[in-house]
Amino acid sequence: MNRSRFTRHAVAAAFSAAALSFGLATSASAADITLKYAFFAPEGTFPGQQMMQWAKELEKRTDGKVKVDTYAGGTLLGAREMWEGVTMGVTDIGLSAPSYDPGRFPLTAGMALPLAFPDATTASRVLWEVTNEFEPKEFEQYKVIAMFTSEPGYLMTREAVRSSDDLDGMRVRATGSGVPVINALGGSAVGMAMPEVPQAVQTGVVDGVMTSREVLQDFRLAESLKYVTDYPMVVTTFAAVMDKNRFEKLPDDVKQVIEELGDEMHAWTGHYHDVENVQGALKWSADEHGLQIVELSDDEYAEWDAKLEPLVNQWIEEANKRGLPGSEYIERVVELRDQQ
């Protein structure tokens, strides 16, 4: 055995242990709890920024007692593995999109109907409030720590879409909840999670995308998709969840800060997304890539509204039939949408 090397290591280890205990002894901010927080898309995207904001605020408001280790970009869990990953303890907190899986989140799917939300700020507030009021069974095993939505999605396409004739048969990527919307307008919807979208656009698997418009910059889609049709469709819902039993085991003061942040994150995220993120991306896309906004004629606009309208009643009927409070949920969503 090489004794001198062993000794050097031992000295270095002793030194860093001393430095560490010195740090602990003099600082009031030694973390006693570390929480892992996983998200499927990059940190720079608006849900990723929401995660970073939450982590920073939790650390600050617990005086460093809690540390949050963030894992963005699907490094720990992908979009569809997130819910199980939380249950199995792969992560403490997981952020994903209930809209990707309306079968798993059947009541929350009602938020992603064509309900004419003006923006993400409004839809995020409504989502947070209805979830607290209805306590949907689909979140039964979870503590929902934050919720928010994207802005209503728009069609972003390679070729301009000025009418449903232009959309006829066009392959458009949508979330799970967005699939029936694209199909009702005559498009051919392809469901996929956001991380798969840039490649699907580049390789021509899809001719366009329906989602919030910041993706033009945040996923560089404006390089291929040069047209936005000015017709707001449906929001994507997001939920950050913890396993309920794990949450219950946290100290009361930490739980209280988490509750407090839950009441704030929908507004923080909505504002950031609506005001900075989307507007900045539209400007960048116009300046750098010549993005064009396509306006529908009044007749065409009304025709699209008429095609989407039945989706709401169909959803309510099906939800009611399955024993869910579909009518009450949508009635309350609409009421909350129009408040303030």
Max CA separation in the chain (angstroms): 86
Binding of ligand 3IO by 41 (CB under 6 A): yes
Position of minimal CB gap to ligand 3IO = 211
Residues 98-117 that bind ligand 3IO (CB under 6 A): none
Q: Residue 93: helix, strand or coil by DSSP?
A: strand
Give the residue among 340, 333, 339 at the shortest CA–CA distance from 129.
333
Contact 142, 159 (CB under 8 A): no
Binding of ligand 3IO by 278 (CB under 6 A): no
Residues 133-172 that bind ligand 3IO (CB under 6 A): 150, 153
Binding of ligand 3IO by 97 (CB under 6 A): yes
Binding of ligand 3IO by 50 (CB under 6 A): no
DSSP string, 234-268: -PPEEEEEEEHHHHHTS-HHHHHHHHHHHHHHHHH
* Contact track, ligand 3IO, 170-209, x by CB under 6 A: -----x------------------x---------------
- CA separation, residue 125 to residues 137, 173, 210 (Å): 20, 26, 22
Closest to ligand 3IO by CB, 95 vs 144, is 95
What is the distance between the alpha carbons of residues 146 and 139, in angstroms, rounded to a whole number? Answer: 12
CB of 47 to ligand 3IO, least distance (A): 5
Binding of ligand 3IO by 212 (CB under 6 A): yes
What is the distance between the alpha carbons of residues 247 and 148, in angstroms, rounded to a whole number? Answer: 20
Closest to ligand 3IO by CB, 131 vs 150, is 150
Binding residue for ligand 3IO (CB under 6 A) from 35, 45, 109, 265? 45
Q: What angle do helix axes 326-337 and 120-134 make, rounded to 10 degrees? A: 140
Residues that bind ligand 3IO (CB under 6 A): 41, 45, 47, 97, 150, 153, 175, 194, 211-212, 215, 236
